[in-house]
Structure 1
Amino acid sequence: MAGAETAGVGGKVGGVMDSLRDAYGDTLVELGNEGANLVVFDADLAGSTRTSKFAKAFPERFFNMGAAEQGMVAAAAGASTTGVVPFVSTFAMFATGRAYEFVRQAVGVGHQNVKIVATHAGLTVGEDGGTHQCLEDLALMRMIPGMTVISPADALETRQAIRAAYAHQGPVYVRLTRDKFPRIHAEDYRFQIGKAVVMRPSAGKDVLLVGCGLGTSICLDAADLLAAEGIGATVLHSPTIKPFDRETLLALAKTHKAVVTCEEHQSHGGLGGVVAEFLSEAHPMPLRRVGVHDQFGQSGKPEKLLEAYGITPQAVAAAAKGAL
């Protein structure tokens, strides 16, 4: 299958839970040691975003802009014209919400080489509640022309995605989280911008489960539930929301009876929106989207919120059976 790879068959790796934002901070330090052109901007949240690791190692290349996200993005866009590669970090709600106009105008319109890495996205922000649980960021960022949008599934993929963003010429948005995620990739996994990965092939080929971020881990568990009922589920991990791997999705869709997407985001506009838009034109077929359905988040424990909003393996399995 052109464009696709198979990795980590069976899914979870040893039940390990890792922090995506810690992986980000560590990778920034590694890249800082490898290249003098990397600079980091943060909006007074370095401890939370883990850019504090870079600040400690390279204080002369770290800029705390205070609670001024719009100015931070504008400053990073200006800095990028001098040849440096700016990484900009804050919570997703502020990076894509409060600063949206500046991301569009200062970074997007000029196609500046700025990397926006936002943490604390999705329902798993937990107790901070609906004001801070950004569930619209993938939709907002993918609407900006020329913006690459990435939602890694675990720490290993995060490290590779940050390196890929640094090497990529042009604006990039990377979605990270507060909570730790299960490790799903083996050590030999290799992330590529724009490439989806078959995490679990199925001989039955009844339903194709497509996930990004935490959604892929949920799909892997859902595939186990479906297998116990004799339903064959292939799991496709799509860490790049834009540019989306349409070729791989289409090839797999043509060999399955239905598709289900899963994401910790609004069910429209993000991964589910991308898949629905593409398949409606290229290969209409039964489709269900598991995610948040036109609601804001609320305060609570991450696992309880996922259950309340129906973003669970059981919900994905039920959606698959409904689609079939």
Structure 2
Amino acid sequence: MSLPMTPTPFYPVGTPGTPWNEADIQAWRARLPRQRSHADDVVAALEPLRARYDIHRYGEVVYDGHAYPLLAVRSRDWRDDQPVLVVTGGVHGYETSGVHGALEFLRDPGVALDGTNLLVVPCVSPWAYEHIQRWNFHALDPNRNFRADSAAAESAALVALLAPLRGHVLMHIDLHETTDTDESEFRPALAARDGKPFEPGEIQDGFYLVDDIDHPQPAFQRAVIDAVARVTHIAEPDAQGRIIGEPLQSPGVIEFPVSRWNLCAAITGARFATTTEVYPDSPRTTPAQCNAAQVAAIRAAINEAMKHRLTP
């Protein structure tokens, strides 16, 4: 089912047809109140986990005089000869269940992790988490900027953290949401920022996955979808047989040039990788179900990848 979107007027920052300058970015930031606390919701939530995991500060970002620690959770019995499992959340700070689903998984993994190394980064973009935004402080989308020389400090820091693990990562799952505000706020803002006209789209009601079109793993994606379907409903395609404009690989799975676009799920070079997309605005789900869907996806991704850990 596709949800029709009402027409959106031009975004109220900048000049139509002209890309934003620094003054426009400052005007954009002025519209964004701080709405929640990374220190309370993430940093404090990780403290009780120190009894079971190593909590590693792999960097920080400083915006407007406020320092945000960048935190990763690692297996305590890390061994370099074991395959690595990576979970990332909060690349887009407004996608709440990505952050809280990762934290919920850490509190109760519910899956056998013996013989593996687990690394979880629950909130890649803390400033965006606090301001419920897609972009970082400088109006950059972290999920188009995962490269070593990135202008997005959050992205560059995560690339540096994960670079030594490239070639050793068996599975990487990146936790996201698709929301109604994608169409009402973030896509209009993107068009305004880049000086382009806004082209309305559709939002599908339900959960779906994004596979890398250059490195597809359809059986792996299918296993994750099957597990999540027991928790929440899977998105149906639109009248053109697409989800967010992309054709289906299989029900609830689309393919996208993840590596070519410098998206998070590609930076580890994991054999098994996927991006989740939870739909929290559905009348058919709740915040708790959204978190549970992310946890189910993580567990299924780990279980499926581990079945194939020794096969070429």
- TM value normalised by structure 1: 0.39
As a proportion of its length, which structure holds more helix? 1
- TM value normalised by structure 2: 0.40
